Structure 1
């Protein structure tokens, strides 16, 4: 329990200390922001700072810090360390720079930012990668809640259309279209702060319930070992599994939404770094709940950190109120991640093909195909015609790989600005090792060829190959970065939305 409070204090202190260092390194000033300069009344407009923070928190959080942290508890309280230090030195730094670099480049999407600092090839790769990822995320976050609502009505004794998954999917997709099409203050600006507050209340309620219901959070120093019931290695599975609770590349696709709505650059520390620290705190609470309430075997039997576990945790820590919050969380939070995923996909395409978004025609040109593809995939899944669950397994790895690329782009920016690029180069190197190692070990990646199973079905991971390859690859990426900056003595060609 003491180690939990130490990690909590470190996260809060990290915001005021290391977060301030990151902010000073970037150097926000009084220049005119995109929200003021462009202000198209749709995507670019000034929003109050508290709304910026709450929308950013729900954009990047949703169920990420809940599912990932609960699954991370399978490895025991050692997960507290990754959530704490990963948030302070990697995740919050990543979110800050993805937001502030977008702000400095007229609110450009992360694919355009990557192109500015890492070259045209990387820009095109990131364009395709981002759109595919965002549509996939948006579609999954429509199908999942539709299934949960259907189940809720079915278990409640309802019949007819209310128990039809396709009906609820269509309603969610209609909402997605409206939220993607309308100006950001019409729906997202109004409902996101409410659901963001619910997310925080749910985490506070769980934390209070842990202590008032007599649960004991295990100490890191008494359990500093791999406690996963299947013996799955900590490196790099835990780092990939926790994902949004420590660092997530998906956040880089969301930060430009708020970069287009800031009145001042000096809001970046609170909005971007602060929202990620808040997400880290939420993840720490849920990881603590997983470690305190369940054994690893119990948690695994419940499916890890899924909806069933969230429901059970809320029920045990908060009773009837917790059950209501759990249902709200597992239904509303995915939906609020899905709508901004489709909105981000629209903006990436707008930046890519230089399609203005102030007019109704410009938005319809992108909303219709983006939501159309999502509808085809979603309806196909609801009817049992399309199974993209295998593709979804790649999300955790591609998510962290995207974070790695963004950190390298930020490192190049800091080099060009003659600033301390090590604050991003070090976590970029670390995440390179994480991503490459997992690519070698994950059964959905090369692990299917390198790993083998024993007679009883247990997986034996080929760490003897994967670990050295991951370390060598990370060192190689760092070497390429250091070599490339020696060869560059001019600033990059800034390709902003204004051109």
Structure 2
């Protein structure tokens, strides 16, 4: 199979989804209103609620939701062959991810930009909200702790990525000042920012930063993890316009250009896909493709984490409600294109099947490093970019994706901690809630691993937890659509599918954790499963209530705790 065929067909499918299906969703299902006054305008505070240019906001949303997962998931899942991964990414982006991300942003926007956790209390039930927040907290804990490990590993294994990684923060701070304080022209700022980032990559390739084996008694990996958490904590406290928005925006442009370079290299070199379409000779110990494929590839097909970002930060920055189509759906398109590029790189970036099988000798052997090495080979063959610089570009791309997600993840986890505190009758300010987040995430990282890698301990539950959260978010959207008497099947069908595969995967993992006597993951699996099933039952009951009640129109509630059985929206 020629990789160019996969690229053309996959890109065409995903872009058609944006131009056609997202238009249908926006007009017929969510009915986006350009005259609606968004929460960004109603509650503008210069910190979290900031009306934002849709291109800048898209950059924030895209890079926040992408992270390393659309690289890691597909890079692992191709062990079952390229065809299942290709179909799930393309169809998932069009009919699952884009619809989910756009819907979560719309639902939050119509409810004062409140999080999906809070919305669950209104549309599903108070008990459902409490359980929902537990699932969200655990998911964010996994993301923040694990992505710190992914970034630190890349900074150590690819020292040429150190300068562009940290230099991007300085560039972002300057861009924030240029856009909001100096009111400079956005296209000019964008061009200068992208040139600066790629200049940093060239500089990083010339001057790699290699840390000594131990620093202040910590290994190089552990040192980077501590620095990353301290940085993320500070970044989460700054106004979004100062660092978060400009960092994500300029990274989004750079990352999209990086994707363009990868696809251009594929078009020129047209490498052959050496991996089988369906791998009939998977390594011993590889789990069955169903349902594990659909939770291994989460980001890039559908991801519950996107709903947290869409409702946690992005909805607070929507200038116009109609911008949600570009920010939400096209953000999912960007991630789908990254996942598709990863599939092609990790199946066509090898000379022979034997080389591919050597890398994929066991399940979970693929990952970011497989993408960087194989993709670097394609860039070298297609565009003549030196191997070292190719690896620097792709490693920096992966690091910046993960870092921007971590920035947003710590801020979101702060919101969740504050909400949990309110439920318990404790009012936490942003400083205390941020310290709680850092204490918990770093406690997990170093409590379960002296090198800071403890965050990977609970990572095996990320895929199933993430997909369950997507199903629960879709349940909220479905209740809203039923109450409004709008088309619900575009939401209901993906909801049922994702709920089934996620619960099934959790049950399978229960057996695995029990047989390996992994009691921590077993207990967490049980907690997540109980929470999810409880919320699903309450969601079904809420949908039945909504069907029996007369149709309603939007009328925003003043109280987060509004009884979901009420007909008032």
> What TM-score bracket applies, with the shorter chain setting the length?
0.7 to 0.9
Query: Does structure 2 conserve the Cα–Cα contact (< 8 Å) formed by 1:42 and 1:184?
Result: yes
Q: CA offsets, 1:88-143, max 9 Å, x none? A: 11111111111111111111011011222211111111112212321332122223
Unaligned runs of 5+ in 1: 452-472
8 A Cα contact 2:283 2:361, kept in partner: no
Between the aligned partners of 1:403 and 1:395, the Cα distance in structure 2 is: 12
Deviation at 1:177, TM superposition (A): 1.3
Map 1:67-466 onto structure 2 (within 5 A).
67-78=72-83, 79-152=85-158, 158-159=211-212, 161=215, 164-217=220-273, 223=277, 228-230=282-284, 232-256=287-311, 257-294=313-350, 295=353, 297-301=357-361, 303-318=364-379, 319-353=387-421, 362-381=429-448, 383=450, 387-442=454-509, 445-447=510-512
Counterpart contact for 1:28–1:265, Cα < 8 Å: yes
Deviation at 1:244, TM superposition (A): 0.2
**3-state DSSP class of the match of 1:17?**
helix
| TM-score with structure 1 setting the length | 0.85
Task: Describe the shift of the 1:240–1:132 C-alpha distance in structure 2 as closer, same or farther (beyond 3 A).
Answer: closer
Of 143-152 and 413-422, deviating more is 143-152
Correspondences of 1:32-51 after superposition (within 5 Å): 32-51=37-56
Q: 1:90 to 1:35 in 2, by over 3 A?
A: same
RMSD, aligned CA: 3.2
Work out the CA distance in 1 between the residues paired with 2:477 and 2:557. Answer: 16
Verify the 8 A CA contact 1:76 1:227 in the aligned structure 2.
no
Contact persistence 2:11–2:337 (CA under 8 A): yes
Find 1:7's aligned residue among 10, 14, 20: 10
Q: Is the 8 A contact 2:71 2:368 kept in 1?
A: no
Q: Can you give the 5+ residue segments of structure 2 that lack an aligned partner in the other structure?
A: 161-207, 380-386, 517-533, 562-569
Rate the CA distance shift 1:67–1:143 in 2: closer, same or farther, 3 A: closer
Residues of 1 paired with 2:44 and 2:57: CA distance? Answer: 16
Of the structure 1 ranges 144-153 and 269-278, higher mean CA displacement relative to structure 2 is found in: 144-153
**Distance of 1:479 and 1:135 partners within structure 2:** 28
Shift of the 178–289 alpha-carbon distance from structure 1 to 2, 3 Å rule, reads same
Distance 1:122 1:480, change over 3 A: closer
Q: 1:248 to 1:496 in 2, by over 3 A?
A: farther
Q: 1:241 to 1:100 in 2, by over 3 A?
A: same
**TM-score, with normalisation over the residues of structure 2?**
0.75
Give how far 1:426 is off: 0.5
Instruction: Give the Cα separation in 2 of the matches to 1:175 and 1:259.
Output: 24
Q: SS of the counterpart of 2:225?
A: helix
